[in-house]
Amino acid sequence: MIYRPSMRRRDFIRTASEGTLVVAFGGGVYAVAPSEAYAKQKRSDGRPRVPPGQRVLTALKPMGGSPGSPSRSQFRLKVYGEVEKPFELDFKQLLAFKKKTRKSDVHCVTGWTVLDAVWTGTRVRDLAKKAKVKKTAHYVIFEAAHGYTANVPLKEALGPKVMVAHRLGGKPLRRAHGAPVRVVVPDLYFWKSAKWLTGIRFVKRDQPGYWETRGYHNHADPWKEERHS
């Protein structure tokens, strides 16, 4: 839940009494969950649930970028590159794919984490299956509005929780979060989860994306604090 500057007094008192810190970030006011509540939690792979250097927030922050069109009627998603059957989808056709709803933790390079964000969408692996990805493909380039790109190794892009999401918390994505759809790559820093998605391109060789060519780490593993190159 996002708390605005006009947060009601009784809500502020209730939140504070629950041991949650309320802080301001970039024009909004957000609740910060007590870090000790998660300090001992582990993932199934044995890594700590909250990566080093992260502060747990209770709501997803809308992080910058040049907004694309939120129009579902104008949306097109191109799946192409090193595939046998490239194709393009409109929003209704995307919804016709089998939908998944999953809880995924989100880790932003700026130092905040949101746990158990509930995303609904289509897995990238299902789109890849339809396109029949060639053995020559080793990376995926997620393309977004205004030429934004993010590069992810093929094996990670086809992970079970990586999806093209159109809903967050049971509600349609807001424009600030990438409406009508964004990719979600939960095990990498969140800049890899391109908003206002327009294309999924399978390639032979790595092609560093927008932030990677501006000094950010090419891989972006939060547990290794791969923030900068």
Phi, psi of 179 (to 5 degrees): -55, 140
Q: Is 107 in contact with 51 (CB distance < 8 Å)?
A: yes
Query: pLDDT: is 9 or 75 the higher one?
Result: 75
Q: In what order do the strands lie in the sheet with 197-203?
A: 87-90, 76-81, 197-203, 139-144, 149-153
Could you report the per-residue pLDDT of 59-74, keeping only the tens digit for each?
A: 998 887 889 999 999 9
Mean pLDDT of the chain: 87
Domains assigned to the chain: 1-32 (no CATH), 60-103+116-224 (3.90.420.10)
In the numeric block, the tokens 């939140």 are attached to: 15
Q: Determine the average pLDDT of the residues in 53-59.
A: 92
The pTM of this model reads: 0.85
pLDDT attached to residue 64: 78
Per the structure block, which two tokens stand in for 184?
Answer: 């979600």
CB 111 within 8 A of CB 53: yes
Strands 197-203 and 171-172: unpaired
Looking at the chain, the whole-number percentage of residues with pLDDT higher than 90 is 77
Q: Which residue has the higher pLDDT, 66 or 111?
A: 111
DSSP 154-189: HHHHTSTT-EEEEEETTEEPPGGGTTT-EEE-TTS-
Query: Residue 93: which of 164, 38, 2, 168 has the closest Cα?
Result: 164
Distance CA 86, CA 67 (A): 26
CA–CA separation, 162 and 144 (whole Å): 16
* pLDDT reading at 17 higher than 70: no
